[in-house]
Structure 1
């Protein structure tokens, strides 16, 4: 049997491996997705919401995890799985994605939602009630079934009264439109929801925990490494996986940063695989080390 070149790489990246070192180094920083069990289960659960009939108490979820641990990437994959389409009557958008404003007010939220839907921005003098009516009309017109709100922990940046307003808004939107909703944020988002027993009961938690040494962690890292256009296979054993998780503090974004920068060193030095030498040459600092360095300023 004839051996194909670069069999250690994912099929989609084998042609990239024939390119120059500069092109391969740049390819490392392209967006990528590696499937893993927790994310696959979460994605199926959220897509299930689209199949459910309208309900006065629609199914909702709260996606929670440490910062830089794959929440936004998972949500973007969810949204991309159901692209907006056009019909004779206008746009059809089963999923709408919006971010909670960094300085949250009901008005800013509605204006952000209107912008996401591609509608003209109302004048600044338009009152919140009119913005609400416009948003409800637009969401009905596009046939929305799932509203996704990322960075939900930003709600805590507002006053206590503002937080209560937003919690009431969530209840209002789900009840009035009978649509499912996914909120996403750090553990602080869960604290905000817990202040309202009714919403806490409605929003079922989906937790993306920090990674620890396991078969799933091994699978994730091998999947990431196989997407890097390196000429030699990178064999990451259990000790290497434990080292990576310890150095990155176990979040998928940090793991990707460390592996990407190590793979770039492997390309530029001609080592062409991730190994102990390329790890030692990497000056990457994990979150705790970065905080310690800033504390010395």
Structure 2
């Protein structure tokens, strides 16, 4: 198949190289993790970067990242963690960032256990919560942890008020003792989770991840960036008005849902040989409802 030169020019160089590869290789490339920068994400990353570079002090500031499912929270956190990957020294490993999930309950014992597991730190299975907390502090100091990211923080609401307050106080105390910033991540219910105490609320100011607007320049630019990474042999023009509005309607304006939908349609286009995304591919690719998707 002859490929239009204008289409080739618009593709990312790595994508361009994939066009003549086997279909299964193009599909694998399509589904591999990719980071596409956009203004809101860059602003959040910049805030996180400022936090991790702060000098140690008793009352370290933190932040709360709030967005609905598929709003891009996990993608942003993942990109930040890639900026500060563990450093393997000759006799030790430095972990700049620890990223954990809040156990439902909330369960402090399970929380400390998950941190220790991520650090690959040994501890007896019979260890009590206080012992695990002490080990977390010890290993944080030993491996040079500079930031703790706690995802799904809204899960603390599944427990009684007393447990919620205990969990949030433990997080605050860990930040103060280790003098490191803590970043909380969750859906809008997370705003209620940090509202247990005025001091805690002031330490974790919220940054909201909004839905995309279908008439914004940033949305069109995002679609152009996404299309440049699609290993399709024909131009789809997903950034043109009709297609942009259709994608927005089907994704509800959430970036994770856009990626899932567009990738599913591109996969379908490769498999069927149409080699471009149209409303037909969007409709027939088998992409499910956004409410059933995992977070992005």
TM-score, normalised by the number of residues in structure 2: 0.91
The runs of 5 or more residues in structure 1 that have no matched partner are 292-297
Q: Using the alignment, how far apart are the partners of 2:149 and 2:247 within structure 1?
A: 32
Instruction: Find out whether 1:281 has 2:292 as its counterpart.
Output: no
Alpha-carbon contact 2:7-2:234 (below 8 Å) kept: no
User: 1:5: Cα distance to partner?
Assistant: 8.0
Question: In the alignment, which residue of structure 1 is the partner of 2:24?
Answer: 22
2:257 corresponds, among 254, 258, 281, to 254
Q: What's the secondary structure of 1:6's corresponding residue?
A: helix
1:87 corresponds, among 89, 93, 96, to 89
Q: Give per-residue Cα distances to partners, 1:102-134, cap 9 Å, x unaligned.
A: 34211110111100111114222x211111111
Question: In the alignment, which residue of structure 2 is the partner of 1:136?
Answer: 137
Q: What's the secondary structure of 2:157's corresponding residue?
A: helix
Q: What's the secondary structure of 1:184's corresponding residue?
A: strand
Q: What's the secondary structure of 1:102's corresponding residue?
A: coil
| CA spacing shift, 1:21–1:88, aligned 2, 3 Å | closer
Instruction: Find out whether 1:264 has 2:264 as its counterpart.
Output: no
Q: What's the secondary structure of 1:235's corresponding residue?
A: coil
Matched length:
287
Q: Using the alignment, how far apart are the partners of 2:208 and 2:167 within structure 1?
A: 22
Q: What's the secondary structure of 1:55's corresponding residue?
A: coil
Q: Counterparts in 2 of 1:1-297, with a 5 A limit?
A: 6-87=8-89, 90-124=92-126, 126-213=127-214, 214-236=216-238, 237-287=240-290
CA root-mean-square deviation: 1.9
User: 1:35: Cα distance to partner?
Assistant: 0.9
Q: Using the alignment, how far apart are the partners of 2:14 and 2:104 within structure 1?
A: 38
Alpha-carbon contact 1:8-1:233 (below 8 Å) kept: no
Alpha-carbon contact 2:65-2:208 (below 8 Å) kept: yes
Alpha-carbon contact 1:262-1:282 (below 8 Å) kept: yes
User: 1:210: Cα distance to partner?
Assistant: 1.4
Q: Using the alignment, how far apart are the partners of 2:177 and 2:283 within structure 1?
A: 57
| CA spacing shift, 1:131–1:277, aligned 2, 3 Å | closer
Q: Using the alignment, how far apart are the partners of 1:265 and 1:91 within structure 2?
A: 43
Q: Using the alignment, how far apart are the partners of 2:25 and 2:89 within structure 1?
A: 40
Q: What's the secondary structure of 2:10's corresponding residue?
A: coil
Alpha-carbon contact 2:246-2:279 (below 8 Å) kept: no
User: 1:95: Cα distance to partner?
Assistant: 1.3
Q: Give per-residue Cα distances to partners, 1:153-191, cap 9 Å, x unaligned.
A: 111122221111111111101111111010001011111
The runs of 5 or more residues in structure 2 that have no matched partner are none
TM-score, normalised by the number of residues in structure 1: 0.91
Q: What's the secondary structure of 2:111's corresponding residue?
A: helix
User: 1:250: Cα distance to partner?
Assistant: 1.5
Q: What's the secondary structure of 1:49's corresponding residue?
A: helix
